[in-house]
Structure 1
Amino acid sequence: MITTILWDVDGTLLDFLAAEKAAIRTLFAEFGFGECTDEAIARYSKINRRYWEKLENGELTKPEVLVGRFREFFETEGLDVTAAPAFNERYQVCLGDTIV
């Protein structure tokens, strides 16, 4: 009898990188940050990857990752870092709503 089914949708059923890019671009417009270039998204991706590695190594908690990655990204882009918590909250919703 099967009691649990796990789906690995990232990169299989969902193009996560495309959804991530679309969500970030949508939120840049929503937050009045201007255009988010491919280069800026590449910088975000490096920061994001480093934060998730720190979580895997037990150096950060998940809440620290979720907001911290945007704080650091906003700092590198010269944006208001205090917007990071609200941006992350909207990002979580927007990521799931984005169809690519």
Structure 2
Amino acid sequence: MLTTILLDVDNTLLDFNACALASMKDAFAYFHLPFSKDTVFPVFLEINSKLWTQIEDGVLTKEQHYQIRWKTILQVLGIPFDGVTLEKKFVEGLHEYAIPVEGAGEL
């Protein structure tokens, strides 16, 4: 008899990319920063993926990730702004969104 089922939330129940996109749009608007989905989102996905690989490899901690993620992204995009400040607003926004993946309701 099954007594426990464990599910990963990101991209299993919730669409992380959709939630991240919505949160970054809000954060950029909040700080009046230039935002283009076609420019910002691909850079975010690439850098975020590399950083999470470093976490999985034990090279980087989650705290270090949060300290450098948006700093690195903003540098690549040439946007002069404090990455840690943007990170805090971005993560705050992530907690506001719960966009389900297709089929999550049926699951």
Q: What's the TM-score, normalizing by structure 2?
A: 0.79
Q: After superposition, what is the alpha-carbon deviation per residue over 1:8-51, rounded to whole angstroms, capped at 9, x for unaligned?
A: 22222211110011111111111111223223211111001001
Query: How many residues of Structure 1 are paired with residues of Structure 2 in the alignment?
Result: 98
Shift of 1:97: 0.3
Deviation of 1:67 (Å): 2.2
1:15 paired residue number? 15
Structure 2: gaps of 5 or more residues: 100-107
TM-score normalised per structure 1: 0.84
- Higher fraction of helix: 1
Distance across 2 between alignment mates of 1:10 and 1:97: 14
Structure 1 stretches lacking a partner, 5+ long: none
Matches within 5 A, 1:35-46: 35-46=35-46
Give the direction of change, closer, same or farther, for the CA distance of 1:62–1:99 in structure 2 (3 Å limit): closer
Partner of 2:84: 85
User: Which is further off, 30-39 or 71-80?
Assistant: 30-39
Alpha-carbon RMSD: 1.9
How many angstroms does 1:95 deviate by? 0.6
| SS state at 2:95 partner | helix
In the TM superposition, residue 98 of structure 1 has moved relative to its aligned partner by 2.1
Percent of residue pairs identical: 29
Counterpart CA distance in 2 for 1:12 and 1:59 is 26
Larger radius of gyration: 2
Deviation at 1:99, TM superposition (A): 4.3
Letter in 2 for 1:87: L
